[in-house]
Amino acid sequence: MCTPSGVWGTILKDEGLIKKLLRGSVVFRSLKFRIFIIVLLVGIIPSSVLRALLIRSYESRAVNQRITDITNQCNILCGRLFEAGFLDDTKDELINDELSLLSNLYDGRVLIIDDDFRIIKDTYDMSVGRTMVSKEVIACLNGSSNMNRYDPEYGYVEVTVPVTDGKGAIHGAMVASGSTDYIKTNRVNLNHRAWIVEITVGIFVLVIAYALSSTLLLPFDRVRTAISSAKEGYISELKRVEVPDYTETGEIMDAFYLLLDQIREADEAREEFVANVSHELKTPLASMKVLSDSIRNEENVPVEMYREFMNDIAEEVDRENQIITDLLEIVKLEKQTDRLVTEPTDLDDILNEIIKMLEPLAGKKGIGLTYEKLKSVTAEVDRQKLSRALMNIVENAIKYNKDFGWVKITLDHDIQFAIITISDGGIGIPQDVVGRIFDRFYRADKSHSNEIGGNGLGLAISRSTILLHKGSVKVTSIEGEGSTFTVKIPLVYEK
Ligand code: ADP
């Protein structure tokens, strides 16, 4: 078997080299280059194969034709040869002339062999009297027909036909060879012309390959330009560029603008968040400033008033502190730097603890807080974090309730999730803002916000925590009638 040697051998032995070349080189990785090569190969390989097939088919047809011609001539001569008794006496001039003519006509040699394998006639007059025991002659004398041979190396065909009497009995053999040099010459000429055609086709294909690889990829250049301009310009002012030339370019641009929209939204959300944070942090500071100024500007302020104002200032400090703590918690939850510490936990325990802690608050407003465990549920949760998240929701159900209202909590599960519902018959949430209550700093009922307290971060923390557990939280609400929060937590936490 042929094995690669030399430089190519070394290159092929290093299996990774070609892959490395393909991956490493900018040219090899270029789609333009690949299209160019594909078109080139598709154009050139068929014409090369065609050339080889054409030449081979010409050669085999020409050789067969030559063999048929010589065989026909030999068959005619063999019949006459026997009739003339040439096998016994080779002096017949007419036959000798015809044999010479045959050998000249095909630029070859004719041998007549009797049934003792002895050469009785040689048009070259070199081997008369010798014995010829070739495979073809033996087969021919034994009755086989079509004993032909083609030798492309020396450029001749050899035909062996039997010399028979009128009844078909074999008495000798005629071996005639004919030159096939003209076939070789024709083949070379044909090959030469085929090469010219192939080179012309090759140049043509080269030009087409170059043109195609350049034009086919033009839309992708436009895609690249559009994306680059987005990189350089202001995202908010960017105009949409369509590249509908191909389905693929259209899809890339759609995906790109979708991503851009998301970036815009994220940008706007970030700006809004910064504005909200500044506003929320400034409010307690402004109150503290007013309180402290009013004491500073007053002469002979009584100690009680000092105490009262200092208490108010301390409350504002607490408020500010709470906002900052909540904000830091949200940031940690959303960045997921704060990993969950999960363990199989009886959710009944968590809910009972929450109820115990919030009962005094509910009691102040005469709210009936009920809890129903439909099924026992143990789930893999971060006890502390989930407890805080659920507590926010239950606390809201009490805060945003009517005096002597009701709050009901249930615990259940399906195959995959623990299901906790917190329903209340409270003030409800207007339909148009119900989707926003999980946003940071969002408060639906601004008019009562101050007296109820809170900073609008509670539900944002709850949702982030639940999402971190790979769960979900949904709310349905009717303004004036109450709300229902449904929390689903996977029973098994998959990291
Ligand atoms: P807050 O600190 O204001 O309570 P939250 O993030 O906990 O902040 O809640 C956001 C807003 O959603 C609240 O200000 C309130 O308007 C509304 N909300 C939350 N829970 C309820 C509820 N059970 N009933 C009515 N409104 C609610």
For 238-289, how does the pLDDT look when each residue is reduced to its tens digit (9 = 90+)? 678 888 889 999 999 999 989 988 888 888 888 888 888 898 889 889 999 9
Same-domain check for residues 358 and 482: yes
Residue 228 lies inside a defined structural domain of this protein: no
Point out the domain boundary residue: 150, 180, 210: 180
Residue 2 above 50 pLDDT?
no
Ligand 1 atom, smallest distance to 457 CA: 6
Q: Count of domains in the chain?
A: 3
423-457 per-residue burial string, b: 16 or more CB within 10 A, e: under 16? bbbbbbbeeeebeebbbbbbbbeeeeeeeeebbbb
pTM for the complete prediction?
A: 0.57
pLDDT digits (tens, 9 = 90+) for 20-68: 666 656 777 888 888 889 988 988 898 889 889 999 999 999 999 999 9
Our mutation pick for probing the ligand 1 site, out of 400, 406, 409, counting the most ligand atoms within 8 A of Cβ, is 400
On whether the CB atoms of residues 145 and 75 are closer than 8 A, the answer is no
Give the pLDDT score at 251. 93
Co-location of 474 and 351 in the same domain: yes
Q: Give nearest CA residue, ligand 1 atom 4.
A: 454
Mean pLDDT of the region 107-120: 94
Dihedrals φ, ψ of 484, to 5°?
Answer: -130, 125
Using the mean position of ligand 1's atoms as its centre, give its distance from the Cα of residue 351 in Å.
Answer: 20
Shared domain check, 383 and 299? no
Residue 24 placed within a domain: no
Are 422 and 286 members of one domain?
Answer: no
CB of residue 456 inside a 6 A radius of ligand 1: yes
Q: What is the mean pLDDT of residues 300-327?
A: 90
**pLDDT over threshold 90, residue 233:** no
Structural domain range at position 106: 77-180
Mutation test residue for ligand 1: of 369, 443, 464, the one with most atoms within 8 Å of CB: 443
DSSP string, 282-341: HHHHHHHHHHHHHHHTSSS--HHHHHHHHHHHHHHHHHHHHHHHHHHHHHHHHHT-S---
The pLDDT of residue 244: 87
- Residue 101 sits in a domain whose CATH number is 3.30.450.20
Same domain? For 368 and 318 the reply is no
Average pLDDT of the residues in 117-145: 92
Q: Are residues 258 and 346 in the same domain?
A: no
Residue 397 Cβ < 6 Å to ligand 1: yes
Is 39 touching ligand 1 by the criterion CB < 6 Å?
Answer: no
Kindly report the protein residue whose alpha carbon is nearest to atom 20 of ligand 1. 396
- pLDDT range class, residue 383, cuts 50, 70, 90: very high
Asked whether 391 lines ligand 1 (CB < 6 A), one says: no
C-alpha of residue 445 to centroid of ligand 1, in Å: 8
Please say which residue of 144, 159, 180 terminates a domain: 180
Q: Is residue 211 part of a domain?
A: no
Q: Is the pLDDT of residue 4 over 50?
A: no
The atom number, within ligand 1, closest to the CA of 444 reads 16
The C-alpha atoms of residue 491 and residue 347 are separated, in whole angstroms, by 10
Q: What is the pLDDT of residues 346-381, one digit of tens each?
A: 999 999 999 999 999 999 999 999 999 999 999 999
Q: Identify which of 354, 363, 352 has the alpha carbon closest to the alpha carbon of residue 388.
A: 354
| Position 89 in a domain | yes
Q: How far is the CA of 382 from the centre of ligand 1 (A)?
A: 24
Q: What is the whole-number distance in angstroms between the Cα of residue 444 and the centre of ligand 1?
A: 7
Residue 389 near residue 465 (C-beta atoms within 8 A): yes
- Looking at residue 321, which CATH number applies to its domain? 1.10.287.130
Is 259 found in the same domain as 355? no
Residue 50 within a domain: no
Asked which of 92-96, 214-218, 234-238, 277-281 is least confident by mean pLDDT, the reply is 234-238
What pLDDT does residue 6 have? 52
Residue 104 scores a pLDDT above 90 = yes
- Closest by CA to 473, choosing from 421, 430, 426, 423, is 421
Any atom of ligand 1 within 6 Å of the Cβ of 319: no
Same domain, 346 and 485: yes
R_g over Cα of the chain: 51
| Phi-psi category of residue 171: left, alpha or beta, with phi > 0 → left and psi -120 to 50 → alpha | alpha
Task: Tell me if 397 sits within 8 A of 422, measured CB to CB.
Answer: yes
Q: Tell me: do 327 and 406 sit in the same domain.
A: no
Residues 376 and 299 reside in one and the same domain: no
- Tell whether ligand 1 has an atom less than 6 A from the beta carbon of residue 159: no
**Alpha carbons 427 and 431: distance in angstroms, whole number:** 12
| For residue 128, pLDDT beyond 90 | yes
pLDDT for res 241:
82
Average pLDDT of the residues of the chain = 88
Provide the 10 A C-beta neighbour count for residue 400: 21
For residue 451, the model assigns a pLDDT of 63
Residue 51 lies inside a defined structural domain of this protein: no
- 333, 350, 373 - which closes a domain: 333
- Distance of CA 495 from the midpoint of ligand 1 (Å): 30
User: pLDDT class for 1, splitting at 50, 70, 90?
Assistant: very low
Is 313 touching ligand 1 by the criterion CB < 6 Å?
Answer: no
| CATH number of domain containing 459 | 3.30.565.10
- Does residue 348 sit in the same domain as residue 402? yes
Averaged pLDDT, 426-447: 87
Cα-to-centroid distance, 275 and ligand 1 (Å): 20
**CA-closest residue to ligand 1 atom 21:** 396
Question: Is 327 part of any domain?
Answer: yes
Whether 323 and 362 share a structural domain = no
Q: Is residue 119 part of a domain?
A: yes
